[in-house]
Amino acid sequence: MGRPLPADENLEILAASTQLDITGGMLDENPALSICPEAARSFQGQPGLIVRDTDGTPLMPQFSLADVQENADELRLVCTDFVSRITYTAHFAIDPETHVITAKATLTSDRPLHLHWLSAPVLPGPQSADDMIDVSGRWCGEFQLNRTPWSPGIRYRENRTGRTGHEHFPGLIVPCRGATNVNGEAYAFHYGWSGGHRMIAEELPDGRRQIQFGHAAGMDTAPATEFETAPLFAVYSSDGLNGCAVSFQRHLRDRIVTWAKPKAPRPVHYNCWEAVYFDHNLDMLKDIASRAADLGAERFVLDDGWFGQRDDDTSSLSDWEVDPRKYPDGLGPLIDHVQSCGMRFGIWFEPEMINPDSNIHRKHPDWALGADDQILGRQQKALNMALPDVRDFIFDRMATILGAHDIDYIKWDHNRVLPMPDAAQTRGSYALIDRLRTSFPQVEIESCASGGGRIDFGILSRTQRVWLSDSNDALERLKIQHNAALFLPAAVTGSHVGPRRSHTSGRILDIEFRAWVAAQRHMGFEMDPRELDAREQEVLREVTAWWKANRDWMFNADILRLDTADPAVIAEQQLAVDGRRFVVFAGKAATSAQIAPRPLRLTRLDPSARYSISLRNRTSAPALSRGDHILKRGPVTLSGAALMHSGFTLPWSFPETMWVVEGEKL
């Protein structure tokens, strides 16, 4: 994996020229850094496989290459250990357009084995890198980037929560020395699995480096004759972190996601959660829906609280029947009103969970995953999704609701970690989603897990949107979205205009900042529209109208993180696929250290072309922006070379505000 070589390159000579020398304190021959490092071959690092025989005896396989199958874009390597009677198969595929490599490993045997660890095909790490970047986070603070220096030994991260997790997004970026967002070489990796993973980034005593990704250890609890990793997605970039980001964004959007309505524009969402919580009142919801539609919403999502006896989060999960106290005539009257306002209708489910205080738990306590005395999360347990009866029950309840009503969207939540990691749980959830999508192919699904707790390419092969964070605080969102763009395109990334006073941070932010941050991704609203004053309504309508006018080209745009000279500014450039237009969002996240703004340089433009750039929201300049700034007067024309190498300076602004610059190639 790396920069393309000439087609006639002699690979044997290349391999020989990069062979390590031998010196004192080393073995007489360097053990191979292979796609599945074997502990039985004097390899000094972490093995790619840890497995036991049927009776529990540890196996130490030594594989020999048995078969090679290849075509233009795929390679399959079959390796066998005839003594242990185990076969290891590695499959590689490269997409000629996105340049993403997909790698997967399979282990087969003639009798059941106990698997502790199986890595996807192991890839080498660049030795010209000083640091690695991985991703951590928390509830309402997802996609936090960590820079860790390479050093002898391992950077080991393992997620054992049973879901992708806020804390351990399964991604790694390795920038080579001097790389930035827009310049230099970088490598990136993502493990497409929703059930918890292990990542190993190891520097061996001889200086070589290896990168391993697989399921969290011990997740396959039952012996089996075949095991398979999830796909590992890997990419190389010669133009900074953005090269990795663009490849992942395009590959996810164009190769992984299967769109329920591929030709339909992405609708502006309204979600009622932060307006009403569990207090569902039909007349109030109708009023809210009317107001949301007037502001520009095109889909109304009814969140938690419509079923069972669900007045708070302590009861009724799995009792997926409409609450007759709140909806005496069912959901029909609300859906009819929503549709009369010109909006589509969506609904919230949390299918994999169950409250102890529910009819189904009282009838089937054995359906809950884990011990009876387990610690609850949000007053709930997880259902055992490995049980066919459980999946059949959930499918029937959900299909009844979907079949009886004109519903085209599900917000699918997952609000607690599992009591133990178990790959069968994830496979069962995948099977349920696959079955529902087959039966209701026009229904779009959003993956939500207390916000960003289940975001990965595995779940996104079955869903079409993610709820990036439960935080509707635009300042927090600005940072979260910026980092998530290293892996996620705007088309799948939900972002909503939250309440004036954030319910998760208590911070009060202006409507313009909140609206423009939401307009960076798949836009929606999630507040009580009755709180908006006349100015706030006007601003929200204006920004929403702008988003609708631009959403078609922005759906396929590349999100490019800009290198800003001012660390208080978080800026990105969304560039149309044909390169003819772009929009720059420059958010000021804090007070600048210097008094005047610093120039902002763009990227990936045609240096010889001329571009007209204009400040979309120039009338928002505050009184303290006193200069006669050219961008406050109207459009200006500059070359691509000037925009990339000199850049432009934006007017002065307060913290927690956003400048929006539109560009068009002339």
Quick count: other Cβ atoms within 10 Å of Cβ 654? 12
C-alpha 277/C-alpha 620 separation (Å) is 33
Residue 276: is it exposed, middle or buried by C-beta count within 10 angstroms (0-12/13-18/19+)? middle
* Cα-based distances in Å from 125 to 50, 144, 199, 231, 614: 22, 22, 13, 18, 43
Contact indicator for 157, 169 with CB cutoff of 8 Å: no
Contact indicator for 181, 242 with CB cutoff of 8 Å: yes
Cα–Cα nearest to 91, from 70, 64, 65: 70
Beta carbons within 8 Å of 83's beta carbon, 6+ residues apart: 61, 62
* Cα-based distances in Å from 555 to 244, 249, 384, 523, 663: 18, 11, 37, 11, 17
CA torsion 539-541-545-551 (nearest 10°) is: 80
C-alpha 336/C-alpha 343 separation (Å) is 10
Residue 279: is it exposed, middle or buried by C-beta count within 10 angstroms (0-12/13-18/19+)? exposed
C-alpha 457/C-alpha 38 separation (Å) is 29
The radius of gyration of the chain's CA atoms, rounded to the nearest angstrom, is 26
**Distance in Å from the first CA to the final CA of the chain:** 38
Q: What b-and-e string marks burial along 257-274, b requiring 16 or more CB atoms within 10 Å of the CB?
A: beebeeeeebbbbbbbbb
Where residue 88 falls (left for φ over 0; alpha for ψ -120 to 50; beta otherwise) is beta
The pair phi, psi for residue 83, each rounded to 5°, is: -75, -50
* Cα-based distances in Å from 285 to 291, 331, 507, 532: 10, 12, 26, 16
- Looking at the annotation, which residues are catalytic? 413, 470
C-alpha 224/C-alpha 170 separation (Å) is 25
Beta carbons within 8 Å of 567's beta carbon, 6+ residues apart: 590, 593
C-alpha 88/C-alpha 80 separation (Å) is 6
